[in-house]
Amino acid sequence: MPITFGPQVCGSLTTDGGRGREWLVTDGLGGWAGGTVSGLRTRREHALLTVSGHVALASLDLTVTLPSGAKIPLYTHAWSSGSIEPSGHHHLETFTLDDGLPRWRWRIGDVVIERELAMRHGHPSVAVVHRVLSAPGPVGLAVAAMCTWRTTHTTRRADGPGLTVEPVSGGVILDGAYRLHGPGWQPAGSWHLGVRTDIDEDLWHAGTFFRQAGPGGACEISAWAGPLGETPPPPPAVIAAERERAHRLVALSKTEGYGQTLAIAADRFIVRAADGPDVVAGYPGQGRWPADTMTAYEGLFLDTGRIDEGRELLIARTRAAAGELRTPDAPWLRHDALDGPLWLVHAVDRHVARTGDSALAVKLVAPLGRVLRHHLGGSGPLSIDPADGLIRLGSPSPETPRVGKPVELNALWVNALAAMCELLGEGGHDDTEPRARHARALASFTARFPAPEGWLYDVIEGPAAAYPLGAGTHHDDPSLRPHQLLAWSLPYGPMRGRPSAAVRAVGESLLTPLGPRTLAPGEYGYQPHRPADPDMAHHQGPVWTWLIGPYADACAATGRPVDGLLDALDAHLSEAGVGSLGETADGDAPHHATGVPFSARSVAEALRIKQRYLA
């Protein structure tokens, strides 16, 4: 379903206009191209080619020479002085995302110029076509290559080491890392100082491609970091191949309507790493995070028909987590991924349950058991309380910033124990011990977590010092938060089949059009905006969009309606990360998007809910 914006959005540099709407394409290897609808770079990660964690080709600045001889720049830059020039966005007639690929059209009177762009899947390369759609005569297309070579989280200045430039046929090789190729290459070699995004940086003008063209003519440019001596296919062929690939992804997913848009969006997060398929948590700037990967697993792989890739991922990640593989770039037991192994068990269980793949259960149940024993053995921040069989967190992490027994970790733990019983049963193994542990943890959960307010405690047995209004050595925190939804939403959730007053309370006090807030507005410490340091208070009120999935599951499990739950998220596909869903939003209306605009968990959960309940 194409998404198109007209000149009132494209020509605006407000956050609600073309400046605040971002596009993204990826190469399937972890590289990407991305920017704003208006063409203005607003993040240091915005570029037409980012590979291996490095920004390469920052922009291609197009200037059109009209038949009259007038030169009209169609690009836009912000500068450290505060100025915006040139103002090429004023000529933008439309921006369209079609088959997941961006297309811009500029109009200067009766001259219409179009740009299309695609990355070649499985190759670190980008293809760009500038095409003359209409003109009363030949026009000149001059495309200046603005370059750098730096990591995505740093900057590069003119007073530092310069870029090395090696002339080659049709362009140059820059810093020995990537190559540019196109028609009429004219070398330049100068710094443009003080280009403003979220930082100030200097960009190297490597040179300009030039083509004189009438209607139907084009200037085709490629940039790549693959084998630098090999020229990729022509840009129109790359773009056509990527459109065809998008059609195959949609057909494989068997989705309809906005589900097709989400199926293409889901593909952006699935990458091929050295050790097999993996998932990027979000763009721009996020890496491969264990808990996010497995939280998103069902939506990204099972609901898109990518069963074989998913199976390969589960095997590799389970073996890595169990210590059977040495993968230093897959930190499965990091402190900030405390729930990763529990989500891993859930993902394997869902794969087996939905595909009937008993062989996978037989293969992975033993290493999964080792993962859980290592993760919960007490040497790290998590341990099992021998008094009740529940998980205790000894020190906080960014994702779980509460000491004690958090409700979501224990809901995941009860679910994981039941899932392990099912996986053991699939393989014909004795499940007596895990069933006993599950029964004990389940009984402890249902006895301890219900709060007098009618919902579940967010954490029990927390330190009293953290709660000034509490008393004694421990405190049970009744703050109304969405973490408790997992107790109903997970397939073996400890509260499934029990009264739904908590789910109703979450819906009444936490639900927004873009997902549940992380804290009810009436609670002490509510902060609706995501702070500059998100680790400090991103659980204090901002919306986490992916939680719409657990909320929908909890509603379905308790007989509450799910229809219409994703209507606002369907509309949101054109509001921030175009064709995708972002990470977080403000807790207060109008719920401005925050965090990264392209989030694997958010897309996966929306797609899963569509396929499960709304198809």
Per-residue pLDDT averaged across 30-35, rounded?
A: 97
Domain ranges of the chain: 3-246, 499-615
* Band of pLDDT at residue 328, cut at 50, 70 and 90: very low
Rg (CA), the chain: 26
Task: Give the pairing type, strands 270-273 and 139-151.
Answer: unpaired
Q: How far apart are CA 548 and CA 278, in angstroms?
A: 23
3-state secondary structure of 210: strand
Burial class (CB in 10 A: 0-12, 13-18, 19+), 216: exposed
Are the CB atoms for 488 and 512 separated by under 8 Å? Answer: no
pLDDT at residue 581, as a whole number: 98
Q: What is the DSSP track for 265-312?
A: HHHTTEEEETTEEEE--EETT----HHHHHHSHHHHHGGGT-HHHHHH
Q: Which of 583, 562, 556, 561 is nearest to 572 (CA)?
A: 583
pLDDT digits (tens, 9 = 90+) for 65-105: 999 999 999 999 999 999 999 999 999 999 999 999 999 99
Q: Provide CB contacts within 8 A for 123, sequence distance 6+.
A: 27, 29, 224, 226, 232
598 pLDDT higher than 60: yes
Query: How does pLDDT run across 101-127, given as a tens digit for each residue?
Result: 999 999 999 999 999 999 999 999 999
pLDDT at 397: 67
CA atoms within 13 A on the CB side of 507: 18
**E strands in 175-279:** 178-181, 186-196, 200-213, 218-224, 270-273, 276-279
Output the pLDDT for position 275.
81
The pLDDT tens digits of the residues spanning 418-454 come to 999 999 998 888 889 999 999 999 999 999 999 999 9
Q: Assess whether pLDDT exceeds 90 at residue 403.
A: no
Q: Could you read off the pLDDT of 193-231 as tens digits, one per residue? A: 999 999 999 999 999 999 999 999 999 999 999 899 999
* Cα dist from 483 to 37, 384, 452, whole Å: 35, 20, 17
Q: Dig out the tokens for 444 from the structure.
A: 């402890």
Q: What CATH fold (topology level) applies to the domain 3-246? A: Beta-galactosidase; Chain A, domain 5 (2.70.98)
Q: Which residue has the tokens 């095997």?
A: 315
Report cis status (omega within 30 of 0) of the bond before 284.
Answer: yes
Nearest to 512 by CA among 478, 553, 562, 547: 547
Sheet of strand 218-224: strand arrangement: 3-5, 92-98, 101-108, 111-119, 125-134, 218-224, 178-181, 171-174, 165-168
Question: Comparing C-alpha atoms, which of 73, 226, 71, 230 is closest to residue 146?
Answer: 73
Distance (Å, whole) CA 269 – CA 304? 12
pLDDT for residue 533:
56
Residue type, 391: I
Distance CA 247, CA 331 (A): 34
What pLDDT, on a 0 to 100 scale, did the predictor assign at position 615?
Answer: 79
Do 157 and 202 meet the contact criterion of CB atoms below 8 Å apart?
yes
At residue 472, does pLDDT exceed 70? no
How confident is residue 267, by pLDDT bands cut at 50, 70 and 90?
very high
Is the pLDDT at 174 greater than 60? The verdict is yes
Q: What percent of the chain clears pLDDT 90, i.e. is strictly above it?
A: 84
Q: Would the pTM of this model clear 0.85, i.e. be above it?
A: yes
Out of 324-333, 372-381, 551-560, pick the least confident: 324-333
- Give the CA distances from residue 593 to residues 249, 573, 576, in Å, rounded to whole numbers and listed in that order: 27, 11, 7
Sequence length of the chain is 615
Mean pLDDT computed over 536-546: 83
Q: Label each residue of 101-133 as H, E or C.
A: EEEEEEEECCEEEEEEEEECCCCCEEEEEEEEE
Per-residue model confidence as pLDDT tens digits over 491-538:
999 999 887 899 999 999 999 999 999 999 988 889 888 766 555 457
Average pLDDT, the chain: 92
